[in-house]
Amino acid sequence: MVLLCGSLVLGACREDFLDQDNPNAIPATDYYKSENDVLLALNGVYQGLRSNSGIAESSGLYSEERSDNTGTNDNQSNAGEPFQFNAFSLLPSNSYLQTHWTALYQIITRANNVLAGSETVTFAKPETKAQYQAEAKFIRALIYFELVRKWGDVPLVTTQLTTPEQANTNTFREKKETVYAQIVADLTDVVNSPLPDVQAAANTGRVSKVAGQALLGKVYLTMATTLDPANRTINLNQAKTYLTNAYNKRTFGQLKEIPYADVFDVAKKSANPEAIFRIVYRQGDINYSSRIAANTQAQGETVNSLRPNTGVGGNVTPDLVKDYETGDVRKEFSIKYANAAVVRDYFITKFRDTSAAAGTNGYGGNDWLLLRYADVILMLAEVNLYLGDVAAATGLLNQVRERAGLPLYAVASVNPVYSAKYPTLKLAILHERRVELAFENQRWFDLLRFFTPEELVAYFRTKSQADFGAAQLSNFGAKDYYYPIPFNEVRLNPAGMYQNPGY
């Protein structure tokens, strides 16, 4: 059952034949006795973000591999189920799809429990309660944003569920417009909360008001481009307001002041001025370290990690490799060709930790960036373009290009090669987002925002099959704009959990 009952540990969400309490679980309704209990439970919500079945560093299967950036030619491992994502042959019965859905709703369940529990205890300071609630609401909004973009209509639960009957009652798909309204409501509370604009170094990884503004801006931009066109201008102006608020809180001037490699440097991460919201990992710790550097490294290579890898590492499509412009510093930093006989292909090098602390086990210290300023700048460029301010859009785009060591847009746009590939400013911005944010799980959502389902089909069909290996581009159709609802969820309530078209 996706809508999990409220328990803090491993409580069962079903009626027990003997009607006994689970000795391994504390019912959420009995757990909260002090504000410290709320803090500990809130920490558990943050911990949920670390799940690679959700949105953590190794969750690219559910987004990046769905796009044209990465994928796999292995159609045999694990019954071929991972291959279904980038081959556009995803089935509702796919077990990875079910695991992803469940992991996302588990985070929401934890956030709902914190919000309910925080109302049952006495806080020494009202602002402490407001801050904890704002953090839980941000994470709930973040996960619902993930869900609604991937599935469209989804179950919307904002209260603590304590019985199987409550869970069953809430097992139905709510219209995506209603889900977006809840996301906006949660994030509006975040930006109006007593949270600090930027968290202190001791609280790195916790939600800030700037994170709320940046995410709310992205939500409004997505609504403007994917929901009712009648509200497009209103939503674009809201997006501009919140993205500008976030941008104005930056602690640097121009983006070029921050070298691209520094954004991902584990030795400089604590003072990274571009980071807005991230999942923090602990270098050298067997339980809380990052594994992305080691896992994406190809056989025979040492640029990412001291841990040897026997596989092909993080696959990069030739389609992406060809999208980097000559002289782009991001290409040299982000990808590398591996000569090992079992590889002979490009792999991801964007995430590196070759320190002695990470060691040959590959227990890296990379943080996973969920929001950063280059993303905000390029979204502002997009918003300004849609609102008709081409000069502002171009200036923002140029900030990103200048840091990458590339000609400004006015120069690039008259280059025949560049102008043939990106004949409009909109496509130029989409291209810049692709190479700037590659492997950060942004690309699929950008494609959904920039194109209608029909336009996205046409976009993929213009690409060369030779640049996608075993994944057949001819499989891509309008149905692939959304994921299928997992089979087990449809079975719970066939009418209320109706399947997406085409599956």
**Alpha-carbon distances of 486 from 158, 301, 308, 444, 500, rounded to whole Å:** 21, 38, 36, 20, 10
pTM of the model: 0.94
Please, which residues have CB within 8 angstroms of residue 244's CB and are 6 or more apart in sequence? 380
Mean pLDDT of 103-124: 97
**22 three-state secondary structure:** coil
Tell me what percent of the residues of the chain surpass a pLDDT of 90: 92
Q: Of 141, 321, 148, which Cα lies nearest the Cα of 222?
A: 148
**303 three-state secondary structure:** coil
State the average pLDDT for the chain.
Answer: 94
Q: Of 380, 404, 409, which Cα lies nearest the Cα of 392?
A: 380
* Residue 30 pLDDT: 77
Which single residue is written with the structure tokens 């292995």? 74
What does the pLDDT look like over 260-271, one tens digit per residue?
A: 999 999 999 999
- Do residues 138 and 212 make contact, with C-beta atoms less than 8 angstroms apart? yes
Angle (CA) 261 215 176, round 5°: 130
Report the alpha-carbon distance of residue 27 to residue 11 in Å, rounded.
7
pLDDT of 137 over the 70 cut: yes
- Do residues 123 and 129 make contact, with C-beta atoms less than 8 angstroms apart? yes
What is the per-residue DSSP string for 337-376? EE-STTT-EEEE-SS-B--TTTTTTT-B---EEEEEHHHH
* Residue 25 pLDDT: 54
Task: Tell me 121's DSSP state.
Answer: S
pLDDT of 497 over the 50 cut: yes
Mean pLDDT of 134-153: 98
Three-class secondary structure assignment of 392-453: HHHHHHHHHHHHCCCCCHHHHCCCHHHHHHCCCHHHHHHHHHHHHCCCCCCHHHHHHHHCCH
Determine the angle formed by the axes of helices 176-191 and 126-151, rounding to 10 degrees: 150
Which single residue is written with the structure tokens 């990106």? 422
Roughly how many angstroms between the first and final C-alpha of the chain, as a whole number? 21
Report the alpha-carbon distance of residue 63 to residue 446 in Å, rounded.
11
* Residue 459 pLDDT: 96
Q: Which tokens hold the place of 24?
A: 């391994």
Q: Which tokens hold the place of 435?
A: 């190479």
Report the alpha-carbon distance of residue 438 to residue 433 in Å, rounded.
8
Please, which residues have CB within 8 angstroms of residue 241's CB and are 6 or more apart in sequence? 217
pLDDT of 6 over the 70 cut: no
**Between 189 and 72, residue with greater pLDDT:** 189
* Residue 14 pLDDT: 34
User: Can you state the percent helix, strand and coil of the chain, rounding each to 5?
Assistant: 50, 5, 45
Split at pLDDT 50, 70, 90, the class of 50 is: very high
* Residue 169 pLDDT: 92
Report the alpha-carbon distance of residue 145 to residue 142 in Å, rounded.
5
**Alpha-carbon distances of 312 from 76, 164, 289, rounded to whole Å:** 15, 45, 22
pLDDT of 24 over the 90 cut: no
Look at 16-25, 213-222, 459-468 and tell me which has the smallest mean pLDDT. Answer: 16-25
pLDDT of 15 over the 60 cut: no
* Residue 34 pLDDT: 96
* Residue 3 pLDDT: 57
pLDDT of 2 over the 70 cut: no
Split at pLDDT 50, 70, 90, the class of 5 is: low
Report the alpha-carbon distance of residue 15 to residue 12 in Å, rounded.
8
Domains of the chain: 1-195 (1.25.40.390), 293-366 (no CATH), 371-481 (no CATH)
* Residue 19 pLDDT: 36
* Residue 158 pLDDT: 97
Mean pLDDT of 281-308: 98
Partners of 335 in the β-ladder: 348
pLDDT of 13 over the 60 cut: no
Displacement of CA 470 from its chain's centroid (Å): 26
